[in-house]
Amino acid sequence: MQEKHRFTWPHKDLLDVSQLSLDEVNHLLDTGEQFHEINRRPVKKVPTLKGKSVVLFFAEPSTRTKTSFDVAGKRLSADTFALTKSGSSITKGETLKDTALTLQAMNPDVIVIRHWSSGAAQYLAERLDCAIVNAGDGWHAHPTQALLDAFSLRNHWGRSFAGKTVLILGDILHSRVARSNVQLLTKLGASVRLCAPHTLLPAGVHNWPVTVHTSLDQAVQGADAVMCLRLQLERQQAGLLPDLSEYATTYCLTARHMAMANPGALVLHPGPMNRGLEIASELADRPESLVLEQVASGVAVRMAILFLHATRKDGGTK
C-alpha cells in the first residue's frame, strides 16, 4: 500500500493506547480507512505483507479478535499461524518466557497475544525482537478494541470528537475494554461517563478523567453514544452481583433509555452480547447499533496495525 503522506511509525509494539500520541492515533485510523476501502472490493487481498509472518498467540478464548486478526493478516498476504492455550505447551506447564523464546526462534514479524495475566504483552515486548501487539491482557488493556471503537465512531462523527459524550455502561471493574476506551476517547477530545453498580466499579475510578454514575437514567441523558460492556459472568464468583435479573432490570440498555440520549445517539458493544442482560435485543438490531460495523472496523484497524508494525524499518522489517 502506498501511503499518501510519509509518516515514520515509531513504535516496535502496541501495548496500550497510552503510548500513542494524538497524531499517531489519527495516522493509524487514517491507515485503517485505506484498508477499509480495500475490504469493500470484490477482491479483498493485497500483497502488502507478502513474505511476513504473524503468530496469533491466544491463551484466552476469543472469537472476534482472533478471527479479525487472522482475516486482517491474510488480506495483507501475510502468513498467519494460530496458537491457543489448549494447543500449546502452556497446558504442560511451560512458562510464558519459554513459549516466547520458542516463538522467537521461528522468526515471526509480529506476535499478537491475548493472555489472562496483566502485563503479559509487555513481558514479551521486553524480551523479543519482533513486534508485539496486545490483544487483551488481564484487566489491563485492550488497545485494538478501543481503536476499532474510535474508528467506528469516527465514521459517523468525523475526526473531531470534541463536544461528544460517550457513556460506557456495565462491568467496568473487570473490563480492559473500558480502561483502554477511557484513555483513547479522552485523548480524542470526548467526554466520558461510566455507569455501573458500586460493586462493578474499580477502586480509584473517581481519579479517572470521567464522570461516574450508578443511575442509568441519569447517565444516559445527553449522551451521543452508549457503549455496553459484556457482563463477565465467568468472573462473578465473588458474589458482586447477587441477582442477574435485578442487574438486567436496572442496567440493561433499552430503547427507553436511548430516548433520553441525544438525537441520533449511537450504540456499541464489543461482543459477545448477552441479549436481555446488557442490551435489549431489539435495540441491538436497530439502525443506530454499530455492533456489526465494529466487527468490520476491527478488520480494517487490525490490518493497519499489522501493516505499521510489520513494516517498521527498525522493527519488523530489519
Binding-site residue numbers are 64-65, 92, 114, 142, 145, 176, 230, 271-272
- 3-state class of 267 per DSSP? strand
Read off the C-alpha cell for 35. 484498508
Nearest residue to 253 via CA among 222, 289, 287: 289
Contact between 62 and 114 under an 8 Å Cβ cutoff? The reply is yes
Binding residues for L-aspartate, by number, are 92, 176, 230
Q: Grid coordinates in use for 24?
A: 499517531
Closest CA to 113 of 125, 101, 105: 125
Rounded to an integer, what distance in angstroms lies between the CA atom of residue 170 and that of residue 293? Answer: 21
Q: Reduced to 3 states, what is the DSSP secondary structure of residue 62?
A: coil
Compute the C-alpha angle 312/13/179, nearest 5°. Answer: 140
Binding residues for carbamoyl phosphate are 64-65, 114, 142, 145, 271-272
